[in-house]
Amino acid sequence: MTPTRYDIAIIGGGPIGAALALALPSKGLRICVLANNEPQNKALRPIALSHGSQLLLERLGLWHALSPQTTKILNIHISEKHALAAVTIKAQELQLPALGYVLDYSLLSQCLSQSAQKAHPDFRLGCKVLSLAPHEGGATVHYLEENQAQSLNCRLVIVADGGALINDNPTQHVDYQQCALTARIGCDHPQPQKAFERFCQEGPVALLPFGEDLALVGTVSQERAEMLMRAEPPIFLQWVQSCFGSRLGKFTHLADRATFPLTLHYQKPGYAHLSKTPIIRIGNAAQRLHPVAGQGLNLGLRDAWALARFIQTTEPEALGSAVTRHQFEKIRHSDRTASIAFTHGLVRLFSNDWPILTQARRGALFTLACFSPARNWLAQRMMHGVYG
C-alpha cells in the first residue's frame, strides 16, 4: 500500500508540537501530528510562562481556559546566599499585569494537545516514530501505531519530540553533572505572587508561587539530589531553609518531590545544509536548556509561532528544501543563541566559587539593584527573548 502523503508531519504532541499544530492553518496544507501518548512522566514540573508566552497562548485562544489554573508572578526577588546585594523586579515598574504565570507542565501540555486534536483531524495519538528516510522531494516517516508498523510520506518533517529521536543531527552537548530537584512546599509566612531566585553554592534555587503553596526548582549535585529524595521531610525542609533563610518564615510541608537530569543540548548552526532529511527542529528538539530563569518552553513557543508564520508565507513545494530550512534557521538564530548564552552564562557565573566570578556576580547584582534600565533589560530578556 502506498503511504499517505502529507505536506507536513509534526513529530511529538508535547507543548511545542501541539502549539505549532494549533498555530498552523488546518486548511490548505495537509498536516499530520504523530504523538506518542505513552504514560507521561507525571512528576511535578513547575513552568513559569513569560508575559510573551501568555500573549502567544492568548492568540492561540487558550488563555481563557488556562488563566484560572495559573499563579501570577508580580515580583521576582533575586539574591545570592552569603551576599548583601539583592534585586527585586516588579511588574508594576514595567507597567505590566504580571511578570509571568506559573502552572504545571502536564496541565499546559494536556490543554494544548486537546485543542490541537480538535483543530486537526490527523492528530494521531499512540504513534511512536522510529526513523526517518529522506527521498526525492521529502521524507518517509516510519512509526508504530498500536504496535503496528506504519509509514507516511511528507515534504517536511518538523521534529518537536523534546530531543528523544536519534538521527543524524550533529549537536553540541554540555552535561552539567547536576539535577533539577522539584517539590511543592509550604511556609508559615507566605508572600503571595512573589518568586524568589537564590544563587547558592551548588547552583540556583527558585521558589515560585504555586496556588497556596510554593514550587521549588533547585539545582543540586546528583549526590545531594539522591540524598534529598530519600530524606525525611524535615531534613528536606531544613535544606530549603538553609538556602532561603527566614524571609518566608518556617517551611512547613513538602509534597511531590522529583528530579530531572540537567544538560545543555543544541544543534550546530548550518544544520539545514548538512542534513539530507528535510527536518526542522523546534522546542527542546532544537535546544534543551538549563531551567534557570525558565527559558526553555518560552523559547520553544517562540520557535513554534515563528515557524507557523514562516510556513504561511512559503510555497508548499519549497517546504522541505535546504534553502527554506536554512532561512528558518537564520530567522531563529539570534533568539536561540542569545537564550542559550544567557542561560548557560547564568549557570556558570552563579555556580562557581572562583574569587573573580564572585566579584563579577556581586557587581552584576549591585548594578541591577541600583539601575532601573539594567533591571528593565533583564526583565525584557526573561519575558520576550531577543525579538519576542
CB of 93 to ligand FAD, least distance (A): 22
Binding residue count for ligand FAD, defined by CB under 6 A: 36
User: Are 160 and 16 contacting, i.e. CB atoms less than 8 angstroms apart?
Assistant: yes
CB of 143 to ligand FAD, least distance (A): 7
Q: Which of 300, 320, 385, 388 binds ligand FAD (CB under 6 A)?
A: 300
Contact status: 388 vs ligand FAD (CB under 6 A): no
123 DSSP β-pair partners? 33
In terms of Cβ atoms closer than 10 Å to its own Cβ (0-12, 13-18, 19+), residue 384 is: middle
Q: What is the CA radius of gyration of the chain?
A: 21
Q: Which of 294, 320, 385, 388 binds ligand FAD (CB under 6 A)?
A: 294
Q: Among residue numbers 132 through 171, which ones bind ligand FAD (CB under 6 A)?
A: 160-162, 164-165
Edge-first strand order for the sheet with 46-50 is 46-50, 100-104, 71-73
CB of 285 to ligand FAD, least distance (A): 6
Opening angle at CA 286, ends 285 and 292, nearest 5: 90
Q: Which of 7, 15, 51, 210 binds ligand FAD (CB under 6 A)?
A: 15
Q: Among residue numbers 25 through 64, which ones bind ligand FAD (CB under 6 A)?
A: 34-36, 45, 47-48
Distance, in Å, from the CA atom of 267 to the CA atom of 83, rounded to the nearest integer, reads 37
CB of 186 or CB of 294, closer to ligand FAD: 294
CB of 164 or CB of 369, closer to ligand FAD: 164
CB of 260 or CB of 310, closer to ligand FAD: 260
CB of 79 or CB of 113, closer to ligand FAD: 113
Q: Which amino acid is at 31?
A: I
The number of residues in the chain equals 388
Query: Nearest 5°: phi and psi at 266?
Result: -150, 155
Distances (CA, A) of 359 to 200, 210, 374: 15, 33, 18
- The per-residue DSSP string of 300-347 comes to HHHHHHHHHHHHHTS-GGGTTSHHHHHHHHHHHHHHHHHHHHHHHHHH
Contact status: 254 vs ligand FAD (CB under 6 A): no
C-alpha cell at 30: 495537509
- The per-residue DSSP string of 198-241 comes to EE-SSSEEEEEEETTEEEEEEEEEHHHHHHHHHS-HHHHHHHHH
CB of 265 to ligand FAD, least distance (A): 11
CB of 119 or CB of 217, closer to ligand FAD: 217
CB of 131 or CB of 372, closer to ligand FAD: 131
C-alpha cell at 84: 548583601
Distance, in Å, from the CA atom of 319 to the CA atom of 141, rounded to the nearest integer, reads 16
CB of 47 to ligand FAD, least distance (A): 4
Distance, in Å, from the CA atom of 271 to the CA atom of 273, rounded to the nearest integer, reads 5
CB of 308 or CB of 357, closer to ligand FAD: 308
Give the per-residue contact string, 213-242, with ligand FAD (x = CB under 6 A; - = no).
----x-------------------------
CB of 183 to ligand FAD, least distance (A): 11
User: Are 292 and 347 contacting, i.e. CB atoms less than 8 angstroms apart?
Assistant: yes
Q: Which amino acid is at 243?
A: C
C-alpha cell at 109: 501540555
Contact status: 105 vs ligand FAD (CB under 6 A): yes
Piece of the chain touching ligand FAD by CB under 6 A; list 14-22, 169-177, 239-247, 379-387: 14-22
Distance, in Å, from the CA atom of 108 to the CA atom of 322, rounded to the nearest integer, reads 33
Contact status: 204 vs ligand FAD (CB under 6 A): no
CB of 112 to ligand FAD, least distance (A): 9
CB of 41 or CB of 372, closer to ligand FAD: 41
Contact status: 320 vs ligand FAD (CB under 6 A): no
Q: Which of 110, 122, 260, 352 binds ligand FAD (CB under 6 A)?
A: 260
CB of 35 or CB of 340, closer to ligand FAD: 35
Enumerate binding residues for ligand FAD (CB under 6 A).
11-17, 34-36, 45, 47-48, 105, 127-129, 160-162, 164-165, 180, 182, 217, 260, 283-285, 291, 294-298, 300
